[in-house]
Each structure stands twice: as C-alpha cells, then as structure tokens.
Structure 1
Amino acid sequence: MKKLMLFFLFSSIISVICAQPIKIMLVTGGHSFDTVQFFQLFDQMDEVDYEHFAQPEANKAIADGRGEDFDVMVFYDMWDEISSDQKAAYLKLTKQGKPFLFLHHALVSYQKWPAFEDIIGGRYIEENKNIPEDEWSEYEHDVWVYCSIENYTPVTAGFRELRFFDEVYGNIRISDDVKPLLQTRHPKSAEYVAWENRYNASTIVYIQPGHDKRTYENEDYRKLLFQAIRYLNTFNK
C-alpha cells in the first residue's frame, strides 16, 4: 500500500513537471488597440506563456528563425511590409506544421502577397484604384454581432451562441476550402466570422471578432481564444 501511494505521488509530481505552458509568439503592429486590456487577456490564461513582438521586429524575428521556438503563432497585427526572406520564413513554418491563430484585423495584412490569403483562408480587400470598387471590403463599428456555431470542434466546444459588441467586416473573400466555425446573419457582415484552414502542413484558425476591450473582457471571447490556442497546440510538431 505504501509503495502504491509513493508511485501515485511520484506520477503526480512528474505530471506537474511535464505540464509545460503553451508558448505563443504574440504579434501586434500596424493598428491601434486597447493595449492594457489586450495583454491582460493573455496574462489571465494560466496555461499560456507568451512573448510579445511588435512589427516590424516580429517579421525580422520570424526571418531569423524565432518562430520555431514557439508552440503557436498568434497574430493581431495589420501589416503590409514583408521581404522575400520573411515570406520564405512564413512558408517554411507552414511546411513544418507550425499552427497559426489570426485575430481580427490580421485579415487585412499583406495585400500584395497572394500566398498570405491562402494561409489565412481569406482577405479583407482594402480600397485600391487597381481593384474594382465592388470588390472593396467594408467595416461597421459598434454593432451587436450574434454568432451561431457552424461546426462543433474543440474551438467552439461548450457554446450555443456567442454575442459581441464589436466590429464586422463585409464583402470579404473567404476560401471555399475553409471549415466555417462561427456564422452570423448581421446584414453588414460576411456570413462567417471564424474558420479553420489548412495550408501545407499547418492548421490555421481565424477569429474575426476582437476589435477592442469590450470584446477582450467578454468571458466567452476569452474562452474561445483559449480553446483555439489549446486546440492548435495539439498540432505543434
């Protein structure tokens, strides 16, 4: 009996030692946001350990191979400048199977890099004289967004409906190959506001809500992001 108790005690200690936090590379830059509340969102995730990189330093770090040090890459940036070496580094990570989580305005990034649209699974089209006006995307601030579950996965587990006072994007491009996760019927929004994508060996999740502190402080949003990170970590190689 004593030996059995010692075995279980030893096993418990090993489990605690081996339960390492999920290391995420958290990327921002190119768009203002409620910084205090945004970082508190990640500070309160007990199972997550993040390191913050602001653009353009984030892309330099990725080109230097720093992305390989993390379990999950999380992007809340809206950035357009990217060198050929940095593009190659992103693509290398996808070939290695590094999981990515893109949030909100990250959908606007890299307007002139076609492969980025393939990675994230869609694109917000900025106004551009070289693009027909009817293809330009639109946004609407400060609206109630009611989201239903389109597909139940570990990301959407435990939800029936989510509601955010946020910003919606309309007339965006969404790949036919993505798996929709959240759907809304808001008239100014695209039909899907969260999805899962695959690119090379990588699993990618995009979540459109997340404009400001009113959403960061929403308990359902916190749970949604954490479940996405934990799910993506299962694909870390």
Structure 2
Amino acid sequence: MPVVRYGQPLNVMVAAKGHPYQRDPFMAMFDDLPGVACTLVEQPLAARLMNPDGMKGFDALVLYDMPGLDFGAADRPAYVEPDEAFKAGFLALLDRGIGVVALHHAIAGWPAWPEYAELLGGRFLYKPGPLLGSLRPDSGYRHDVVHTVEFADPGHPVVSGLPQSFALTDELYLFEVFEDLVTPLLRSGHAFTRDGFYSASQAVAGRMFSNEGWAHADGSNLVGWTKRARNSPLVYLQPGDGPSTYADPNYRRLIENAIRWAAAEARA
C-alpha cells in the first residue's frame, strides 16, 4: 500500500496523465526506490506546481505526462496552448536548475509550444507540422518490440550497474530526435525505418496499425539522452510503455540512476 515516506533523502514529484497508463504498476516502480520519496501528481494539477514555489522541497521532477493534446476535439488531437503563467513558471523552475527525468510519451507534450520540444530534445508528432523550421510528418509507433539497448556512453552514471547491452520488450517511436542538441546515452538495435512502424495520425483517426500512404524518413536509433534544459540537468528515456517494462530490473535501475543523477547534478 502506498504510504507517505517522510524523511527520505530525496523527494521527487512525478507528473502523469494525458496518455493512458496503469497507475498502480507504474507507481510501484517508484515506491520501491530506496531513500526516495515520490509523489504522483496528475495533470492538469501538475502544471500548476511546475514552478519554483510549487516544487519547493522537491529535488527532481519526473515527467510521464502528455499535456496539451485534446483527443476529444473534432480535429483530434487539437493542440492546446499552455497559458503564459505555466510557461513562465516552468522556465523559472528550469532556471533554478531542478533535475528533470522525462519518460516515454512525455516527448509528445505541449505540441503548441515549440520551445518545449527543444527543452526535452525531441518531439513525437501526432500529426504533420512545422518543427525547427521545416515541415515534419507525423511520428510512428510500434508496440511490443523486442530490441536490444546498448550504451552510447558506457561511463555515464545513468547506466551504472547495468549490463553493456540488455533486451527490452516495449513500444518504440519513429520520432524527431534533435541529436545536435543532446548527449547520446542509449541506442537501440532496432531498425528505425518507415516499414517497421505505424502512423500516429492514422491511429488517432481510427486506423490502428497502418502506415498506408505514410511517408517518413529513416529515424534516429537514440532511445536515451542527457542535455541541459536552461540550467537544469535533464534525462530522456524513450522506453516506458507499460507494466512489463515497469517491472524490468534493468529499466528500474535506469530510472533510479536517472533520478539520482538529475538530483545530484541539480545540487552541484
């Protein structure tokens, strides 16, 4: 049973919602972290806390949310612009240097705010649109891919204690990765080509598992990176679709390492 873990050395806020997820197995991954107290806050409340005052007392922020997309709109998904108060507060939080760990579908958040993609280091697009000055197609997805993850930077603390390569069965994305803005951390052995993925735009339109008529160039095999988001250390980990991944010991070690590294870098 979840309890309030008073007196832990690290306090972490975990933001979720905007994309379906199984709350109990997801939070079980955080409840098992030794010395870390994780508090789940779902959107839209989470956005009201992502500022220096709202996160006072927290050492790091985990993003597993996907705000800014309205899947109930006629032209779904409609893009919802974040209000100016949120943008100002979030940027002020990053200027303070809070450690951030972004997971899986968080890379699709706030699509109407271009700077958000640059802060995270990439973007999953649910429909074609402009990005970094050019028109990009909608992104691709594929569930239950068995693939091998390998270190791009074997000496980084986020991969400490992990085997040099390990297998995961998870959802992968054919998406926009700003490789020139990030420091590579993890790469996948999967082939990131159009034929191995399905169109996100067609899925939203009710044509699941289709890539008919969908044109997408080959993508990056980068599935984990670090970067600076203004003054904040940030880790992005693309894996994290569901319970089988949450329970994987190597994935859990990645999450723990990422949180500890982000929090430590923020304090440095």
Shift in Å at residue 179 of structure 1? 0.6
Shift in Å at residue 229 of structure 1? 0.6
- Judge conservation of contact 1:184–1:190 (CA < 8 Å) in 2: no
Q: Report whether the alignment pairs 1:184 with 2:184.
A: no
**Secondary structure, aligned partner of 1:155:** helix
Q: Which runs of 4+ in 1 moved over 3 A?
A: 128-134
Shift in Å at residue 134 of structure 1? 5.5
Q: Report whether the alignment pairs 1:229 with 2:240.
A: no
Task: List gaps (5 residues or longer) in structure 1.
Answer: 1-18
Q: Report whether the alignment pairs 1:205 with 2:220.
A: no
**Secondary structure, aligned partner of 1:58:** helix
Match of residue 61 from structure 2? 73
Q: Which amino acid aligns with 2:167?
A: R
**Paired-residue identity, %:** 30
- Judge conservation of contact 2:50–2:93 (CA < 8 Å) in 1: no
Q: How does 1:46-85 map to 2 (within 5 A)?
A: 46-63=34-51, 65-80=53-68, 81=80, 82-85=82-85
Q: Which amino acid aligns with 1:34?
A: Q
Q: Provide the C-alpha distance between the structure 2 equivalents of 1:129 and 1:151, rounded to a whole number of angstroms.
A: 32
TM-score if structure 2 supplies the norm length?
A: 0.77
- Judge conservation of contact 1:75–1:106 (CA < 8 Å) in 2: yes
Q: Please give the per-residue CA displacement for 1:124-165, whole angstroms capped at 9, x wherever unaligned.
A: 122147788852210001111211100020001222112111
Q: Please give the per-residue CA displacement for 1:92-141, whole angstroms capped at 9, x wherever unaligned.
A: 01111111000000000011111111211111122147788852210001
Equivalenced residue count is: 219
Match of residue 34 from structure 1? 22
TM-score if structure 1 supplies the norm length?
A: 0.86
Residue 232 to residue 191, structure 1, CA distance change in 2 (3 Å):
same
- Judge conservation of contact 1:169–1:190 (CA < 8 Å) in 2: no
- Judge conservation of contact 1:120–1:206 (CA < 8 Å) in 2: yes
Where is the helix percentage greater, Structure 1 or Structure 2?
Answer: 1
Match of residue 32 from structure 2? 44
- Judge conservation of contact 1:135–1:171 (CA < 8 Å) in 2: no
Q: Provide the C-alpha distance between the structure 2 equivalents of 1:130 and 1:47, rounded to a whole number of angstroms.
A: 43
Q: Provide the C-alpha distance between the structure 1 equivalents of 2:138 and 2:116, rounded to a whole number of angstroms.
A: 18
Q: Provide the C-alpha distance between the structure 2 equivalents of 1:175 and 1:96, rounded to a whole number of angstroms.
A: 25
Match of residue 214 from structure 1? 244
Task: List gaps (5 residues or longer) in structure 2.
Answer: 1-6, 69-79, 193-218
Out of 151, 155, 160, which is 2:158 matched to?
155
- Judge conservation of contact 1:167–1:211 (CA < 8 Å) in 2: yes
- Judge conservation of contact 1:26–1:50 (CA < 8 Å) in 2: yes
- Judge conservation of contact 2:99–2:234 (CA < 8 Å) in 1: yes
- Judge conservation of contact 2:19–2:65 (CA < 8 Å) in 1: yes
- Judge conservation of contact 1:102–1:205 (CA < 8 Å) in 2: yes
Residue 183 to residue 68, structure 1, CA distance change in 2 (3 Å):
same
- Judge conservation of contact 1:101–1:206 (CA < 8 Å) in 2: yes
- Judge conservation of contact 2:130–2:136 (CA < 8 Å) in 1: no
| C-alpha RMSD of the superposition | 1.9
